[in-house]
Structure 1
Amino acid sequence: MYQIGVDLGGTNIAIGLVDDERKIILKDSVPTALPRSAQEIIEDIATLTRSLAERAGLSLSDARWVGLGTPGTANVQTGVIEYANNLKFENVPVCKMLETALGRPIYIENDANAAAYGEYVAGAAQGGTSAVVITLGTGVGGGAIIDGNIYHGSNFAGGEFGHTVIRVGGRPCTCGRHGCWETYSSATGLIQTTVEAMKADKSSKMWEIADGDLSKVNGKTAFDGKRAGDATATRVVDEYLIDLGQGLVNVINIFQPDVLCIGGGVSKEGDGIIKPLEEIIRAERYSKFAKKQTVLRTASLGNDAGIIGAAMIGNLYTA
């Protein structure tokens, strides 16, 4: 027996067959090719799932279930994607559609929650009953695991960590607020801060790193500049870590998880971000006198977190 995990993204649909040791047996992906109808996307998921089972020499009937991680609001009780703006999905009964196509039980989850659960059961967030995983990408996403269960909130929209404000009246956010955590601590926010600093300092080594082209600035540019001894880059990184640290302290003060795990491209800086963030957390956490403290780690599963997490969510509903 095995499980199937689907990570439905705006760019690609990634699917993996996952064994009982939470290891991926075989995986593949196809372009999401938006804009398309929900039915067309469901057909692609079903086709690739059948293909993977065949290539792995497994019977689809031996799959316990299919877990689907999706952007947007996924109602785990009804099996309906209530709203996913980038997919243009509104009230799509995806579980019913996939069950008809594949003949297996289907479970859905928000993609960030699925990735968080993946790290919790198979990655860096293992080792406790509670964990929060923060992903620093285009935005600041994440998921909270409390007593082994995914926290959804009353309307399945819980865990929008990126839309907590850290600077009142700050940068405008796509959510309509100003000063949201993700406008400063996402990769997008870091790039914006880097570009602003480069425009203000034409002598910065970051210009050389980016080949003199602002469109080539990415989340590593400032870190590379700091390593090269550039003072402006160092200020960008220091400011970024302060903003990131403020948000992480907020998360710890709210949840006090066993593990707080950071994923996304920026997390690949390793100790270059973990050590200064630990200093900020030690100085500012409310729980500074508690014997037990949250452990800060970087994510370990990369893009596989969403597949593994989606594949294993059936355990939450069949135990």
Structure 2
Amino acid sequence: MYYIGVDLGGTGIKIGVVDEKGTIIEKDSCPTRVKDGYKEIVKDMSQVINSLKAKLNISDDEIHSIGIGSPGAIDDKNGVVIFSGNLEFDYVPLAEEMKKYFDKPVYVGNDANCAALGEYFALNDDSIEDFVAVTLGTGVGGGIIMNKKIFTGFNGMAGEIGHMGLVMNGEPCTCGKRGCWEAYASATAIIRETEKAAREYPDSYVAKLVEENGGKGSGKTAFIAQRAGDKIGDMVVKNYVQAVAEGIINIVNAIQPQVVVIGGGVSKEGEGLINPVREYVEEYSFGPSTVKKAELRLATLGNDAGIIGAAFLGK
């Protein structure tokens, strides 16, 4: 049997055919026509799915189910997107609409939760029941798996870990509040701090790298400077790592997951990021050193996590 996974984004839709082992057999994409409304968006999805079926010579009988990962608050029991600013959705019956095209079970979940589910299945370890995925990208996303199932909370909005309050009245966040973890631990945050350091320390290597990049920093700039022995780059990275660790320590203390996976663009720094975060978690998370703490790992699926997780909503 095959599972169809749909990763619905604000600008593009990625769709894949996934086998029982979690391997994407084939995938394709199309633009998200937000202004044309949800019915046209679902129609586009159905056309891509039919194209994939034809390419693979798969019949409807070979498809187990269709899963859709969407940004926003989700009523997963009824397959409804309660609200999504990116998609301009307001109580959209996504599952019901998709069933007009396919006589198959259709499941809808939050996109970050789907990515977490994909990473969870990638662990391929049945002994792990409680798990958290953290994505360090433009914002900070995440998903929580408890007792091997996505934890959504009573209103479908659990897992918005990027909006944990870290600093009261701190840096402004995209959500309209101030001091959210996202405002300190996202790629956007380290870029902001890198550019600020370049202005304050114009003779630093960080400043040189920023200047060479047209006055713009990136999520990698401070790490590159740190590896080159630049003290200012080292300062920016250490402050950033501490901010990442503070949020993860809060997650670990509140949930005590067996594994925390870190993904997103900044995670490409690999051990240079995760090792110092591990040290903070070991030292500052609750409990004596004799008690086993959450294991931190790097995400493995990249941009495919959302497709695989959405596909396995029906598994």
Q: Distance in 2 between matches of 1:252 and 1:271?
A: 20
Deviation by residue 1:167-197 (Cα, 9 ceiling, x = unmatched): 1221011223211100010111111111111
Instruction: Check 1:106–1:42 CA distance in 2 against 1; reply closer, same or farther (3 A cut).
Output: same
Deviation by residue 1:180-221 (Cα, 9 ceiling, x = unmatched): 100010111111111111111112222332343456421111
Deviates more, 1:52-61 or 1:5-14: 52-61
> 1:156-305 maps to which residues of 2 (within 5 A)?
156-213=156-213, 216-305=216-305
Contact 2:134-2:140 at 8 Å conserved across structures: yes
Aligned to 2:48: 48
Paired letter, 2:305: A
Aligned to 2:5: 5
Give the match's secondary structure for 1:21: coil
What's the CA shift for 1:293?
1.8
Q: Does 1:117 align with 2:113?
A: no
Paired letter, 1:37: G
Give the match's secondary structure for 1:210: helix
Deviates more, 1:224-233 or 1:283-292: 283-292
Give the match's secondary structure for 2:302: coil
> 1:17-96 maps to which residues of 2 (within 5 A)?
17-96=17-96
Deviation by residue 1:80-115 (Cα, 9 ceiling, x = unmatched): 111000110001111000011222210000000000
Deviation by residue 1:198-252 (Cα, 9 ceiling, x = unmatched): 1111122223323434564211111111112111111000000011110010000
Instruction: Check 1:201–1:36 CA distance in 2 against 1; reply closer, same or farther (3 A cut).
Output: farther
Q: Distance in 1 between matches of 2:128 and 2:232?
A: 40
Contact 1:207-1:213 at 8 Å conserved across structures: no
Aligned to 2:311: 311
Segments of structure 2 that go 5 or more residues without pairing to the other structure are none
Paired letter, 2:115: A
Q: Distance in 1 between matches of 2:273 and 2:46?
A: 41
Contact 1:61-1:104 at 8 Å conserved across structures: no
Q: Distance in 2 between matches of 1:134 and 1:213?
A: 28
What's the CA shift for 1:275?
1.2
Contact 2:197-2:207 at 8 Å conserved across structures: no
Contact 1:71-1:84 at 8 Å conserved across structures: yes
Q: Distance in 1 between matches of 2:223 and 2:307?
A: 30
Deviation by residue 1:124-175 (Cα, 9 ceiling, x = unmatched): 8875111000111111110100010110011000111111111122101122
Q: Distance in 1 between matches of 2:306 and 2:127?
A: 19
Instruction: Check 1:205–1:127 CA distance in 2 against 1; reply closer, same or farther (3 A cut).
Output: farther
Paired letter, 1:191: I
Aligned to 1:154: 154
Count the aligned residue pairs. Answer: 315
Q: Distance in 1 between matches of 2:127 and 2:305?
A: 16
What's the CA shift for 1:34?
3.7
Q: Distance in 2 between matches of 1:202 and 1:22?
A: 49
What's the CA shift for 1:272?
0.5
Segments of structure 1 that go 5 or more residues without pairing to the other structure are none
Q: Distance in 2 between matches of 1:230 and 1:292?
A: 36
Instruction: Check 1:253–1:31 CA distance in 2 against 1; reply closer, same or farther (3 A cut).
Output: same
TM-score, reference length from structure 1:
0.95
Q: Identity percentage over the alignment?
A: 43
Contact 1:171-1:183 at 8 Å conserved across structures: yes
What's the CA shift for 1:61?
3.3
